[in-house]
Amino acid sequence: MRQIIMRNINEDLSGSLVELSEATTPQVVNPFDVRVKIAASGVCRTDLHIIGGLLPVGIPHVLGHENAGTVDEVGSMVTTVKKGDQVICFPFISNGLSTTERKGLDSNAPNRITPGINAPGGYAEFLLTNERAMIKVPETANLCELATLTDAGLAAYRACKRASKLLGVGDTAIIIGIGGLGHLAVQILRTISPAIIVAVDNKLEALAMASSFGISTTCLAQDLTETFRGQATVVLDFVGTNSTSAAALECLAFGGTYLVIGAEGSVTTTMLDLIENEKHIEGIYVGTYSELQEVTHLALSGRVRPHIQKYDLEDANQALHDLLNGKISGRAVLIP
């Protein structure tokens, strides 16, 4: 099969980052294995972190942790999907036996395998995963769009679900970064919460996209602190730099919560500010299998629609460079 291979770290992220190669199609070996014929694989900022060496992986490596496709072959004990089913892939492979999984927190299963991170991913024609990672979708579903739910949409949903528990009628939520995750978060949050939503970005086109989803307030990043100091019950930060963090914390009202999803920098604050305003800071890590079912329900019922830019699999370098250079509106996906 064709696949895109990353042969070395490229700290500068310059020139050719990955290359097309031929590989043996992965084989179903274990009784719960599932081989998926890839329809689309999302291109994520994490892929740039891997190529740049910030997130260490074994070399050579096949990227692609956001995958959707068609079941191609199943192991001997698989009962819930069969060849030909359309599926999206929960990003983690595990056996369901750990204590954390027994409580519903599949995203923290010990020794889990994450294709595209610590196993070959979906920048390829076929992906090997397992039955517990399968979410079946209708034949009519748009797999290219749905692929982006399995990481971008999932993390955005987990953040918004957490936010919605904290937000009441009349409260304000600020969403920083209207990109791959943030453009989904705007759509999700307005569906699951009555809060006033403020979309923030440093690009006017991104703010225009946010407005197109039906929210009434947008704000350029440079004006955020001045406009919303002390007003937000929740800030969702999908950028995650030192400066977005500082602005986010300043915008929190008493008892407010800063949800960190983007991971580029650090958070620093005085204890006095944390205490006197009972500020909360929380990291959000991907999401659970049930949460992926839920955000998929939102997409299938038409309330959330991922904006995608399609690239042929062999144009992976182009997609990665476009992401690096801020040229992607929504999310890029590779089509084998």
CA distance 149 to 129: 17
The CB-of-65 to a second copy minimum distance in angstroms stands at: 14
CB nearer a second copy, residue 208 or residue 274: 274
**Where does 23-140 show beta strands of DSSP type E?**
33-43, 67-74, 86-89, 126-130, 134-137
Could you tell me the smallest distance in angstroms from the CB atom of residue 182 to a second copy?
15
Binding-residue total with a second copy (CB under 8 A): 62
Q: Does 111 bind a second copy (CB under 8 A)?
A: no
Identify residues 129-148 at the interface with a second copy (CB under 8 A): 131-132
Task: Say how far apart CA 63 and CA 9 lie, in whole Å.
Answer: 13
C-alpha 39/C-alpha 88 separation (Å) is 10
Phi, psi angle pair for 283, to nearest 5°: -85, 145
229 binds a second copy (CB under 8 A): no
Binding residues among 60-89 for a second copy as defined by CB under 8 A: 77, 79-80
| Contact pick of 277, 309, 317, 318 for a second copy (by CB under 8 A) | 277
Minimum distance between the CB of residue 327 and a second copy, rounded to whole angstroms? Answer: 24
Per-residue CA distances from 210 to 82, 147, 216, 264, 297 (Å): 38, 21, 9, 23, 21
Give the C-alpha separation, 240 to 1, whole Å.
37
Q: Which of residues 154-173 bind a second copy (CB under 8 A)?
A: 168-170
Give the residues lining the site for a second copy (CB under 8 A).
31, 77, 79-80, 96-97, 99-100, 102-106, 108, 131-132, 168-170, 191-194, 240, 245, 254-255, 260-285, 288-290, 293-295, 297-298, 303
